Structure 1
Amino acid sequence: MNLVKRLKICVFTFALLFIGTAVNAQITNDITHEEAFTALLAAKKNAEDSNVLVNIAVVDAGANLKAFIRMDESYLGSIDVAIKKAKTARYFNMDTGKLGELTQPGGIIYNIELTNNGMVSFPGGLPIKNKDGKIIGAIGVSGGTIEQDRAIATVGAKSILE
C-alpha cells in the first residue's frame, strides 16, 4: 500500500474517531439556555424587589458560564465572585456557604478555595437541579450581603422547577 493511501486511511479513521467522540461528549443532564435564562431572570427580579444590586452567573453541568448579568451600578469586583460562586457550587455540588463551613481553619478541607484557579467558600452559590433531582448547573450571586446573595440564588435555582 502506498504512502498516500495509508495517509488517507489514517486521516479518515482519525476523523471518524473525532466525530464519534464529539457527539458522545454531550452531557444529557445539562442546563438548557432557556433554563439558564429562567434562573437568571428570576434571581434578577428577586434582587430588584429586594433593592439589591448584584451580579448573577449561571454555569452548566461542566461549570462553564452559560448566562450572566451585571445589574447597573453593581460592584465590578462582584463579577468574578459571582462566577466563582457558581463554579464552586458545581465543582462540589453543594451550597458554597456549606462548603465554607468545611474550609475554616481546622476544617477537613481548610484552604481548598485556593485550588481550581480560586473558589469562593461563602454563601451565594447553589447547584441547580432539574425535576428529576439531577444537578444540571449552578448559580452564583454576588453584590449583596451573604444572606441576600444566598436568598437571591435560591430563588434562581428553584425557578426552573416551577
Structure 2
Amino acid sequence: MSHPIAAGVRPLRAPEADELVAVARSEAEAAGIAVSITILDAGGNLMAFRRDENAVLISGETSTRKAFTSVQLGSPTADLVDLVQPGALFHTLPTALDRPLLFIAGGVPLHRDGRLIGAIGVGGGAPDQDSAVALAAAAALA
C-alpha cells in the first residue's frame, strides 16, 4: 500500500534525508536520549538510518517500524495508538497483516506541497520523546 507521489511534487532526496537525521540527532542529544533514526521514502524504501552508539539495539528495529507504519498509513504513529487498543477500529490491524507495523509514538509522515513524500521514525527514548524528536525533524524539512 504505497502512496505514489503526484506529478510535480519533488520526492525526498538523499541530502534531505541526511539533514533530517542530523536535525533528529541534535534534538535527541539536547533531550539527553540516545536514539535510532530511520528515514523512508514514500514507497517505504530506506533513505537514511543512524543508530547512536549508546542507543539500545532494538531501537533500530522500532525506528524503522514506526517510519514504515507512518508512511503506510500517512499518519503520525502517536495518532494511531488508541485505534489499535481492544475494541477500537484497528484493533486487529497489527496482527492481521504480515507487515512490520508498530503503533508506538515516534513515527511521523513527511509532506511536501500537501503530498506524502516519506516518513521519519525515531526509537530509543520514551514514546513521547521519540515523537518530539521526529516532529522537530519533520518540521525542519524545507
TM-score by length of 1: 0.79
- Structure 1 equivalent of residue 125 of structure 2: 144
Whether contact under 8 Å (1:29, 1:134) holds in the other structure is no
Aligned to 1:125: 107
Q: Which residue of 1 aligns with 2:43?
A: 62
Asked if 2 retains the 8 angstrom alpha-carbon contact of 1:93 and 1:135, the reply is: yes
Q: Could you say which structure has the larger radius of gyration?
A: 1
Runs (5+) with no aligned partner, structure 1: 1-25
1:108 aligns to 2:108 (yes or no): no
Question: Matches of 2:43 and 2:93 in 1, distance apart?
Answer: 19
1:36, distance to aligned residue in structure 2 (A): 0.8
Question: What residue in structure 1 maps to residue 26 of structure 2?
Answer: 45
Q: Pick closer, same or farther for the CA change 1:76–1:57 going to 2, 3 Å.
A: same
Structure whose residues are more often helix by fraction: 1
Equivalent in 71, 76, 99 of residue 90 of structure 1: 71
| Distance (whole Å) between structure 1 residues aligned to residue 55 and residue 134 of structure 2 | 16
* Mapping of residues 69-84 of structure 1, within 5 Å: 69-84=50-65
Match of 1:13 in 2: none
CA contact (8 A) 2:68 2:100 kept: no
SS at match of 1:85: helix
Q: Deviations over 1:86-131 (max 9, x none)?
A: 010000000111111111100111021222433110100000112x
The whole-number CA distance in structure 1 between the counterparts of 2:8 and 2:73 is: 17
Structure 2 gap ranges (5+): 1-6
- Displaced runs of 4+ in structure 1, greater than 4 A? 26-29
Partners of 2:65 and 2:140 lie apart in 1 by: 21
